[in-house]
Amino acid sequence: MLRHTLGALILCASAVHGQGLQRVLSPNNDLSGLNFSSPTDNNLPRLNFSSPSPLIFHSTFALLQQWPNTFFEYGHTIAPCKVPKGTNLYHASSDGKRPPEPEFLAFDPEMAYWILGTTPDSHMFTYRTRREVQCLYFDGSSASLRRDGSMDSQMAFLYNSTYNIPPKPILELPPEFRNLTGNKTFFNDIALEYTRAEKLCDFIHNHSLGGPGWGYEGVVRMNTGFEMIWCNFSSPSVELVSRLNVSAPRLEEVPSRWTHLGHVPETFVVKGRKKRGKKQIPGLTFDNPFAVNGGVYSWWHAATKRYGFGNGQYGRGETRVRLDSCTLFTLYDPGMQDQESARVMDERKSLNLTKEGYWMAPREDNERDAALKTLSRRRQAQRAHNVSEADGLYMRGAVEQRMRLLLSTEKEQHCSGIDWIEIARDIVSAYSIELYNLLKRLEFFGQLGPEDARLWLSDIRHASHLVFMPFYEYPDITKSTLQEAFAVNASNSQSALHRCKTQYAPFEAEELSDSERLTSHAISDVLSAICTTMLPIFLQTERIWLANFNNFSAPPVVTPAVPLWHELQTATSHNIQAIEELMAWLGWIDQWTACDPGCALGQVCYIPIWPALAMGGILKGGMKGHEDLDEADGSLDRYLWEPTCVDFHHFPPGW
Ligand SMILES: *[C@@H]1O[C@H](CO)[C@@H](O)[C@H](O)[C@H]1NC(C)=O
Ligand SMILES: *[C@@H]1O[C@H](CO)[C@@H](O)[C@H](O)[C@H]1NC(C)=O
Ligand SMILES: *[C@@H]1O[C@H](CO)[C@@H](O)[C@H](O)[C@H]1NC(C)=O
Ligand SMILES: *[C@@H]1O[C@H](CO)[C@@H](O)[C@H](O)[C@H]1NC(C)=O
Ligand SMILES: *[C@@H]1O[C@H](CO)[C@@H](O)[C@H](O)[C@H]1NC(C)=O
Ligand SMILES: *[C@@H]1O[C@H](CO)[C@@H](O)[C@H](O)[C@H]1NC(C)=O
Ligand SMILES: *[C@@H]1O[C@H](CO)[C@@H](O)[C@H](O)[C@H]1NC(C)=O
Ligand SMILES: *[C@@H]1O[C@H](CO)[C@@H](O)[C@H](O)[C@H]1NC(C)=O
Ligand SMILES: *[C@@H]1O[C@H](CO)[C@@H](O)[C@H](O)[C@H]1NC(C)=O
Ligand SMILES: *[C@@H]1O[C@H](CO)[C@@H](O)[C@H](O)[C@H]1NC(C)=O
Ligand SMILES: *[C@@H]1O[C@H](CO)[C@@H](O)[C@H](O)[C@H]1NC(C)=O
Ligand SMILES: *[C@@H]1O[C@H](CO)[C@@H](O)[C@H](O)[C@H]1NC(C)=O
């Protein structure tokens, strides 16, 4: 939604991909007790890294959540949505005129205020929905102008293909601005935003999917918080509840370099948008006491209330927008043949995958760690920029059909009623932290003293038992039958595996929509990977425990001199490898990244979110105590991987 400031344009032009450390997947524990076998000579389940299932799963799980969609800026889901009756939406303007359409409405007033509420003559419009409003949602950071990939899905959707998208318009700057920016070329992303908004609304109207007062009336996207492109203000679906002059008394004697930056000439923003009146302009004026930094912090802070899941725990996503998991469309749909085959081909090379999708891991441990990191983040690099016309028409048809289904009375007949999004969230909640903790516990092996093995294995046993607890019946066992009883192919084992894999399988006769079939398939693949990886770990742990540690009165002493040590060592190095690869395959890195230590009351875990991400940099003085955050470039990306707790102290008012 931020589209009026020079600052924002500088940010999008100068942002670069940064490399950071991901703590989670680079164990810094002492692993000297372990000896990794080579990746090909063990019997780990082979995971298909070309499969779209973990990608579909992650996109589904993350819908409408700020935190994961900040980690994964490039969206892959398009979904019809609804905004409930009685929802407030905000728009600020610098001239007090009712906005022309389409315009951008913020769910958080802080967003609207910061964007255009701080000029000498700013007005805040508050609208409230009079009925449940239907909308179309693009996931990812779909309103972020930081990197082109954020807009891929919208553009391919509008132009039927990647290859029909016209080049971005160039921003024509007056000479004094050209000098100020070193004659750099900027794209007019703001004009492009309006074109995009018009086209998205046109799509709705042209296909008779909505209009003023009925059907689809807007498009929901995210940058720092969520916004809605509202298609037509003459609609009775929203009512203007207030229009207030929110201009505050200006600061006096502000250095001219700041006010100069603020008073952006009309041509700067408006060019390329003929329909709009001349006065609908800028901009950020820095003699407003609330413009920086506290204002930016308020905006960013409002967005963080919609973080959603963190550390595998439920949080509040954008609950003012609701989805129906019967009608999701994913760009990983196999029907997107050219887009999908390009992803598979490109990643085969970049990620060292075989044509079956198996990963050829580097042999050196440190190379392997780095490669695992790349694998686990692979969705971050996946752009929807290989969409052929055939793909585009397929996508358009599918989205239209799904939007229409929700307008019709036939929904019940075509949808199972199962909430697949909640199921995906339950799975993340059930396994993400458990896997992480199990990995950390396994890695502790290298530090065990001779007396510690029993306690340590008991920990591992608890963690692996938990996964199979609802599914596993212990067979009759004696010491001499342990080997067969806990074999992977034993019937109790296989039954448990089946129950684990199918724990959310729909009943056979269940009618699923096309969307549901795909989501359900992705969920089933994700569960298969988790259950298949965990089964041998569980069984082997039970077997070793029962063979050696089950006598409460006689804990064995385990030193490198005894065979049991070797057995534990081999098992543990295999298990670490298996879990690392599983975690990389799942790619839930957003769930395995946290502020460490955790944040105190009143603090929030800071990750850079566009465009509020670098405000502290552009407007000197932000992020006190974090001098390196004063950079309006990729150095901020570090904080995505090493987030840090902040509160209002880090954003002192003014500068
Ligand atoms: C690790 O395994 C390799 C191959 O099995 C072996 O040659 C090497 O000695 C082992 N290293 C340690 C520290 O056990
Ligand atoms: C892995 O997934 C890709 C993409 O869907 C598919 O082409 C390939 O056949 C799969 N590999 C196996 C072994 O099933
Ligand atoms: C996209 O395809 C539809 C259906 O064929 C067509 O009506 C529309 O004009 C196309 N849009 C563009 C921008 O090519
Ligand atoms: C641009 O900068 C050059 C070199 O500093 C200066 O000579 C020129 O007058 C400036 N032009 C404008 C329009 O400010
Ligand atoms: C920008 O280009 C103009 C005209 O080409 C030139 O006069 C000016 O010095 C340049 N400014 C900078 C900062 O390079
Ligand atoms: C909608 O229809 C108008 C007028 O017929 C046309 O100019 C426009 O390209 C169409 N837009 C879309 C997104 O289909
Ligand atoms: C908004 O709706 C009104 C009333 O139906 C219509 O006259 C107007 O053309 C619409 N505006 C746009 C931009 O579609
Ligand atoms: C809005 O308020 C500001 C500050 O009080 C004032 O300067 C401005 O003239 C007001 N605008 C209108 C249209 O009354
Ligand atoms: C996908 O698109 C990108 C960007 O245009 C291009 O570099 C890449 O080669 C394409 N992949 C395939 C397999 O065509
Ligand atoms: C792929 O192989 C190259 C060369 O060995 C290595 O540098 C890179 O880390 C590997 N990447 C992955 C994801 O395995
Ligand atoms: C399990 O596999 C082993 C070795 O492959 C075999 O000897 C045994 O009969 C199998 N057991 C079952 C229950 O299939
Ligand atoms: C447990 O260990 C104690 C001490 O070594 C031994 O006396 C006892 O027989 C063992 N019990 C079983 C069931 O193996």
**pLDDT, tens digit, for every residue of 60-91?**
999 999 999 999 999 999 999 999 999 999 99
pLDDT tens-digit series, residues 310-328: 888 889 999 999 999 999 9
Phi, psi of 90 (to 5 degrees): -125, 145
The pLDDT assigned to 54 comes to 98
For residue 496, give the amino acid letter: A
- Alpha carbon of 385 to ligand 9 centroid (Å): 7
How would DSSP label each residue in 58-112? HHHHHTT-HHHHHHS-S--EEEEEEE-TT-EEEEEESS-PPPPSSEEEESSHHHH
- Alpha carbon of 28 to ligand 10 centroid (Å): 21
Distance CA 454, CA 450 (A): 9
Position 274 confidence tier, pLDDT thresholds 50, 70, 90: very low
Establish whether residue 221 lines the binding site of ligand 9, counting it when its CB lies within 6 angstroms of any ligand atom.
Answer: no
Residue 602 corresponds to which tokens in the numbers above?
């009143």
pLDDT tens-digit series, residues 495-505: 999 999 999 99
Position 17 confidence tier, pLDDT thresholds 50, 70, 90: very low
- Which atom of ligand 10 lies at the shortest distance from residue 372's CA? 13
Establish whether residue 346 lines the binding site of ligand 9, counting it when its CB lies within 6 angstroms of any ligand atom.
Answer: yes
Residues with a CB atom less than 6 Å from ligand 12:
551, 553-554
Establish whether residue 627 lines the binding site of ligand 4, counting it when its CB lies within 6 angstroms of any ligand atom.
Answer: no
| For ligand 12, mutation pick of 478, 482, 551 (most atoms within 8 Å of CB) | 551
Give residues with Cβ within 8 angstroms of 590, minimum separation 6: 62, 67, 68, 71, 72, 309, 310
- Which atom of ligand 3 lies at the shortest distance from residue 160's CA? 1
Of all ligands present, the nearest one to the C-alpha of 182 is 5
Of all ligands present, the nearest one to the C-alpha of 383 is 9
Establish whether residue 232 lines the binding site of ligand 7, counting it when its CB lies within 6 angstroms of any ligand atom.
Answer: yes
Position 286 confidence tier, pLDDT thresholds 50, 70, 90: low
Give residues with Cβ within 8 angstroms of 157, minimum separation 6: 78, 203, 392, 395, 396, 399
The pLDDT assigned to 96 comes to 80
For residue 90, give the amino acid letter: Y
- Alpha carbon of 445 to ligand 1 centroid (Å): 17
Phi, psi of 23 (to 5 degrees): -65, -40
Nearest CA to ligand 4 atom 10: 179
The pLDDT assigned to 407 comes to 95
222 near 142, Cβ under 8 Å? yes
Position 634 confidence tier, pLDDT thresholds 50, 70, 90: low
227 near 106, Cβ under 8 Å? yes
Tell me the three state secondary structure of residue 220. strand
- Alpha carbon of 164 to ligand 9 centroid (Å): 15
- Alpha carbon of 485 to ligand 11 centroid (Å): 11
Domain ranges of the chain: 2-57+326-413+430-592, 62-323, 604-646
pLDDT tens-digit series, residues 115-129: 888 878 899 999 999
Residue 357: left if φ>0, alpha if ψ -120 to 50, beta else—which one? left
Position 613 confidence tier, pLDDT thresholds 50, 70, 90: low
The pLDDT assigned to 557 comes to 86
| For ligand 8, mutation pick of 93, 94, 119, 247 (most atoms within 8 Å of CB) | 247
The pLDDT assigned to 27 comes to 33
- Alpha carbon of 574 to ligand 1 centroid (Å): 14
Nearest CA to ligand 2 atom 10: 356
Rounded mean pLDDT, 404-421:
94
Establish whether residue 40 lines the binding site of ligand 5, counting it when its CB lies within 6 angstroms of any ligand atom.
Answer: no
For residue 602, give the amino acid letter: G
Nearest CA to ligand 3 atom 5: 393
Pick from 244, 261, 248: nearest CA to 290: 248
- Which atom of ligand 5 lies at the shortest distance from residue 178's CA? 1
| For ligand 7, mutation pick of 198, 229, 234 (most atoms within 8 Å of CB) | 234
Nearest CA to ligand 3 atom 1: 160
Establish whether residue 385 lines the binding site of ligand 9, counting it when its CB lies within 6 angstroms of any ligand atom.
Answer: yes
Establish whether residue 206 lines the binding site of ligand 11, counting it when its CB lies within 6 angstroms of any ligand atom.
Answer: no
Establish whether residue 178 lines the binding site of ligand 5, counting it when its CB lies within 6 angstroms of any ligand atom.
Answer: yes
Residues with a CB atom less than 6 Å from ligand 2:
48, 50-52, 344, 356-357
- Alpha carbon of 234 to ligand 7 centroid (Å): 7
Of all ligands present, the nearest one to the C-alpha of 495 is 11
Position 15 confidence tier, pLDDT thresholds 50, 70, 90: very low
The mean predicted confidence, pLDDT, of the chain is: 85
Of all ligands present, the nearest one to the C-alpha of 165 is 3
- Alpha carbon of 621 to ligand 2 centroid (Å): 51
Of all ligands present, the nearest one to the C-alpha of 176 is 4
Give residues with Cβ within 8 angstroms of 47, minimum separation 6: 357, 358, 359, 529, 533, 581, 582, 585
Nearest CA to ligand 7 atom 7: 234
Position 174 confidence tier, pLDDT thresholds 50, 70, 90: confident
Distance CA 402, CA 415 (A): 11
The pLDDT assigned to 278 comes to 35
Establish whether residue 319 lines the binding site of ligand 8, counting it when its CB lies within 6 angstroms of any ligand atom.
Answer: no
Nearest CA to ligand 10 atom 8: 371
Establish whether residue 95 lines the binding site of ligand 7, counting it when its CB lies within 6 angstroms of any ligand atom.
Answer: no
The percentage of residues in the chain with a pLDDT greater than 90, rounded to a whole number, is: 65
- Count of residues for the chain? 655
Position 153 confidence tier, pLDDT thresholds 50, 70, 90: very high
- Alpha carbon of 173 to ligand 4 centroid (Å): 14
157 near 196, Cβ under 8 Å? no
- Which atom of ligand 7 lies at the shortest distance from residue 201's CA? 14
